[in-house]
Chains A and B, each alone.
Chain A
Amino acid sequence: MRMTGAEALIKSLEKEGVEVIFGYPGGVVLPIYDALYDNKKIRHVLVRHEQCAGHAADAYARATGKVGVCLVTSGPGATNLVTGIANAWMDSVPIVAITGQVATHVIGTDAFQEADITGITMPITKHNYLVKDVNQLPSTVKQAFLLAKTGRPGPVLIDLPVDISKAEIDFKYPEDASIPGYKPTYKGHMKQIKEAAKLLVQAEKPIIYAGGGIIKSEAWDELRQLAELVQIPVTTTLMGKGAFPDDHPLSLRMLGMHGTRYANYAIMDSDLIFAVGVRFDDRVTGKISTFAPHATIIHVDIDPAEISKNIPAHLPIVGDAKIVLKDLVAEIKKGKTPHSDKTRWHELIASWKKKYPLHYHQDGAIRPEYVVETINKLTKDMDVIVTTGVGQNQMWAAQFYSANKPRSFISSGGLGTMGFGLPAAIGAQIGRPDAVVIDIDGDGSIQMVSQELATVAANKLPIIIAILNNGYLGMVRQWQELFYKKRYSQVDLNVGTPDFVKLAEAYGIKGVRVTDIGDVSKILKKAIKDRKPILIDFMVAREENVFPMVAPGASIDEMLGGIPGASLSQMIDEEEEEVGSEAHLISSSGK
């Protein structure tokens, strides 16, 4: 069929099953927007800043498991999108980003709105393409989707010059893509898997450390089978929240810098770590040289480059988590090796759980933890998606919201992009219209993207925006309190921050301010029931801190705070000899 490049692009997207594009128009993408104008199959969501097209596509992908698509113009449109792409890159999220480009014959001349976006995004894409021949457009789209969603997922960018969009082509969509240099490994090596099975059942203090890779490979059932079969406690990363139910008796919840004390103690004390779909990020390992000194490490990852990148693995298994876990469970079920007695290990963990539960001070003020806990209680059995800003709000959400299902917690982990929460909620809600989507955000984070309230309003998205408003760049303030002698440099947001209720109303969205702890539950309950866009401005205790906390550079069992009943000067666990030198800096504020 004869058509223009722009039409061929849209047809190709249809062939890939794309249902929605997050985008923003401009000069060189006019032919594409024209092709979209009377398209019936693909919905276009107009964001109000290109960065948010990236984040929305990213969260759409995380919420649905499909590839997210965004479309922007050349030059400033493309450079605005860079943060969105970098975010998807760091968290391995499959998105296809389409950027317009100036006409091929003026590329390289500093033409109007020209930016070398393939050059700029080389380090933050799995691959990118500059299409110079319209006949290669369909196969390029085919390849881009294949690369984005297979193997270790990630963003792929297609840069499309305007003359290519206008050129004519006989459209035929290829059946499959041939990419000679690309062959991900899915099946794990059986010899390694057999060895892993043996080590797992024999270990006395095993732990499973599971992450984003479980969600990417949809391996949550297999993970649960393994844990239950061998009775191994499971800790998840921030990215792995939802890969294993937080409320499961074997769950240790999140580990790492702001993880639970019991997760961090358990991994440090373990004799075997089964790491799956994780990348040993520094927020998790703390000081590398002291990490899990007694443990044998089995590392399952689809990306060979992740294995032994930060911490050497004793038993590497390259493969897809789902396939490897299936084989592993089958191998263990053969029952060749007798299981060790893990009673003492479970008792030890139970005692840590009892001694060091996640908790906060309850004194009548609205503690941010309380808000998250209430959200958690009220949404227990619903289809919920929580998105977050970055900072304290994000960590409280991770600690006090129990993700019991996959794809129910969406947060910016690797890049830590303030402003992710609201566009992520938009992408998630559009991908899963029936889910209750709650953006738990910070007053600083949301100000980076508050223009997206327009997108919420325009699309009547029933998102609940819950701002934990402390009037500070809270996480930075916390570090200044703990490590910079309370010298609060440039973190006070009280002056200049808009009245969020009025701001919401200016966009035609309902806004409510909550200043009384007695109203928290009531207002949230109504918001969940109403199914209408709402912004709730929770005025929380200003100088609340996130605990436990591993000081930067410390070993992960050297945590500040998180001991119930301990006074602030006793924030360090008296049982641990190795106390961080930061301890004396902790002042009596906060709680």
Chain B
Amino acid sequence: MKHILSVLVENKPGVLARVSGLFSRRGFNIESLAVGPTEDPNISRMTIVIDADDLKLEQITKQLHKLVNVLKISDLDPKDSVERELVLIKVNAPPDKRAEVVETANIFRANIIDVSKTTLTIEITGTATKIQALEDLLRPYGIKELVRTGKIALARGKLAET
């Protein structure tokens, strides 16, 4: 099962290496990892997406807790959290196809952020399903390059993080 772990860590050198190293040496696979400072510059938030059964998840969480720089871990419940990912897609768009591609992007409320003679670069934010849908529709035109930030997520407003 997919889980989104939201991990607050001290913003210190080497912390990313400690966390990612722990995952690899204990044989846990990371699907995506996004990291950046929070409202408090001394603290960073890591959003880690993993695929793990309950037992494995428990072990990952316990091991993460043992890292001295890790302050707090929440396993975000998809029902009670909001998640987003940002993706940039450079897609083939020769003059005769360009209008179609722009049209498709518009339907998804994606932005065109770069244009060349033969390509368009599209920026989309949203949930995994929305991004996947756009990607599927653009594939026939030929996706030249794609980059994603990895998922970021927060627990919904009224439920204070536990």
Residues in chain A within 8 A of chain B (CB atoms): 118-119, 122-123, 126-127, 130, 147, 179-182, 303-305, 308-309
Q: Please tell me if the beta carbons of A303 and B17 are within 8 angstroms of each other in the complex.
A: no
Q: In the A-B complex, list the 4 residue pairs whose CB atoms are closest, starting with the nearest.
A: A305-B62, A127-B68, A181-B71, A304-B62
CB neighbours of B10 from chain A (8 A): 180-181
* Per-residue contact bits, chain B 64-90, to A (CB 8 Å; 1 contact, 0 not): 011111110000000000000000000
Provide the bound-state CA to CA distance between A275 and B17, in Å: 34
Q: In the complex, what residue of chain A is closest to B42 when comparing beta carbons?
A: A180
CB neighbours of B18 from chain A (8 A): 122
CB neighbours of A304 from chain B (8 A): 62, 65
Minimum CB–CB distance from A431 to chain B (whole Å) comes to: 27
B59 interface hit (Cβ, 8 Å): yes
CB neighbours of B9 from chain A (8 A): 181
Q: In the complex, what residue of chain B is closest to A151 when comparing beta carbons?
A: B66
CB neighbours of A119 from chain B (8 A): 14, 17
Provide the bound-state CA to CA distance between A303 and B59, in Å: 11
A-B contact count (CB 8 A): 36
Q: Please tell me if the beta carbons of A182 and B55 are within 8 angstroms of each other in the complex.
A: no
Minimum CB–CB distance from B14 to chain A (whole Å) comes to: 7
Known: A130-B14, A147-B68, A305-B63. 15 other contacts (CB 8 A): A118-B14, A122-B14, A122-B18, A126-B68, A127-B68, A130-B13, A180-B10, A180-B71, A181-B10, A181-B67, A181-B69, A181-B71, A303-B66, A305-B59, A305-B65
Instruction: Give the B interface residue count (CB, 8 A).
Output: 20
CB neighbours of B103 from chain A (8 A): none
B25 interface hit (Cβ, 8 Å): yes
Residues in chain B within 8 A of chain A (CB atoms): 9-10, 13-14, 17-18, 21, 25, 55, 58-59, 62-63, 65-71
Q: In the complex, what residue of chain A is closest to B10 when comparing beta carbons?
A: A181
Provide the bound-state CA to CA distance between A309 and B68, in Å: 20
CB neighbours of A180 from chain B (8 A): 10, 71
Partner pick for B70 among A130, A181, A305, CB 8 A cutoff: A181
Q: In the complex, what residue of chain A is closest to B64 when comparing beta carbons?
A: A305
Q: In the complex, what residue of chain B is closest to A156 when comparing beta carbons?
A: B68
Minimum CB–CB distance from B126 to chain A (whole Å) comes to: 33
Q: Please tell me if the beta carbons of A308 and B17 are within 8 angstroms of each other in the complex.
A: no
Provide the bound-state CA to CA distance between A564 and B111, in Å: 82
Partner pick for A308 among B58, B68, B69, CB 8 A cutoff: B58
Partner pick for A123 among B13, B21, B55, B68, CB 8 A cutoff: B21
Q: In the complex, what residue of chain A is closest to B55 when comparing beta carbons?
A: A308
Partner pick for B66 among A123, A130, A305, CB 8 A cutoff: A305
CB neighbours of A303 from chain B (8 A): 66
Provide the bound-state CA to CA distance between A304 and B13, in Å: 27
CB neighbours of A147 from chain B (8 A): 68
Minimum CB–CB distance from A289 to chain B (whole Å) comes to: 15
Q: In the complex, what residue of chain A is closest to B14 when comparing beta carbons?
A: A118
Q: In the complex, what residue of chain B is closest to A182 when comparing beta carbons?
A: B68
Q: In the complex, what residue of chain B is closest to A179 when comparing beta carbons?
A: B68
Q: In the complex, what residue of chain B is closest to A318 when comparing beta carbons?
A: B62
CB neighbours of A181 from chain B (8 A): 9-10, 67-71
What are 19 A-B pairs with beta-carbon distances under 8 A? Answer: A118-B14, A122-B14, A122-B18, A122-B21, A123-B21, A123-B25, A126-B68, A130-B14, A147-B68, A179-B68, A181-B9, A181-B67, A181-B68, A181-B70, A182-B68, A303-B66, A305-B65, A305-B66, A308-B55
Provide the bound-state CA to CA distance between A181 and B15, in Å: 13
CB neighbours of A123 from chain B (8 A): 21, 25
CB neighbours of A308 from chain B (8 A): 55, 58
CB neighbours of A179 from chain B (8 A): 68
Known contacts A181-B71, A182-B68, A303-B66: A122-B59 contact under CB 8 Å: no
CB neighbours of B21 from chain A (8 A): 122-123
Minimum CB–CB distance from A179 to chain B (whole Å) comes to: 6
Provide the bound-state CA to CA distance between A123 and B14, in Å: 13
CB neighbours of A182 from chain B (8 A): 68
Minimum CB–CB distance from B74 to chain A (whole Å) comes to: 15
Q: In the complex, what residue of chain B is closest to A122 when comparing beta carbons?
A: B21
Minimum CB–CB distance from B42 to chain A (whole Å) comes to: 10
CB neighbours of B58 from chain A (8 A): 308
CB neighbours of B70 from chain A (8 A): 181
